[in-house]
Amino acid sequence: MRPTEPNPRSQITAHVDPELIVIPYSIDPDFGSKFDTMKIMKGTYQEEFHESYDVEFTIDVDQKGYITQFEHTFTLERYLDLIRTQSYRVIQTNWRGQSFHVMTYGYMKEVLSPNNVILRCTDAEDVFIVAELVPFRADGVVEQPNHRYLQFHALISARDDLYPMDYICQPDFDLNLD
């Protein structure tokens, strides 16, 4: 798979080899079993929001509850390393008796941490979020130990119509330091 041309205004190629600006796609039928050790929350993402956790930045959902957009706040070093190590990836797998695509948004050790929880987007159980719920921190110090924030690590989807692979696998990494 070849990357698309980076945005001409993007400064990312000054920091990352253009050959590494890709989102790898792989097939691993057994990968989904790694999620079996994680707790599945009772409510959907929207039902658990403000009940079990908050988010630093909003994860946008459509009227049905499916994710349409989300943001991460990474340090520049982490963002560049995630791209360099091709940690953003798509894996076709089986889980809970059906075929899914897993889209990772962190290092694999974070994506597969047994401390993670899984949240359904809807009752249809065709799209899930893999996240860790962590205490709120400011400058590395826990400020609110009982107040949990969601750290989004992966999206598990059986809905190629909502998240088409030809779009998901195209890198759209951008970096503008101005």
- Both tokens assigned to 142: 């826990």
Residue 145 CB burial class (10 angstroms; 0-12, 13-18, ≥19): exposed
> DSSP secondary-structure letter at 162?
T
pLDDT value at residue 144:
59
pTM over 0.75: yes
Task: Tell me how far the alpha carbon of residue 44 is from its chain's centroid.
Answer: 17
Residue 143 clears pLDDT 70, i.e. is over it: no
> DSSP secondary-structure letter at 49?
B
Task: Tell me how far the alpha carbon of residue 90 is from its chain's centroid.
Answer: 10
pLDDT value at residue 2:
37
Q: What is the mean pLDDT of residues 102-129?
A: 95
- Is the pLDDT higher at 21 or at 72? 21
Question: Among residues 100, 107, 114, 105, which one has the least CA distance to residue 31?
Answer: 100
Q: How confident is the model at residue 96 (pLDDT cuts 50, 70, 90)?
A: very high
Residue 90 clears pLDDT 90, i.e. is over it: yes
- Is the pLDDT higher at 162 or at 18? 162
Q: Which of 23-32, 67-76, 164-173 has the weakest average pLDDT?
A: 67-76
- Is the pLDDT higher at 11 or at 162? 162
For a pLDDT cut of 70, what percent of the chain falls above it? Answer: 85
CA dist., res. 44 & res. 30, Å (int): 25
CA within 13 Å, CB half, 56:
14
CA dist., res. 49 & res. 68, Å (int): 16
pLDDT value at residue 54:
73
pLDDT value at residue 6:
47
pLDDT value at residue 145:
58
Question: Among residues 11, 1, 28, which one has the least CA distance to residue 177?
Answer: 11
Task: Give the three-state DSSP class for 45.
Answer: helix
Residue 89 clears pLDDT 70, i.e. is over it: yes
CA dist., res. 172 & res. 5, Å (int): 9
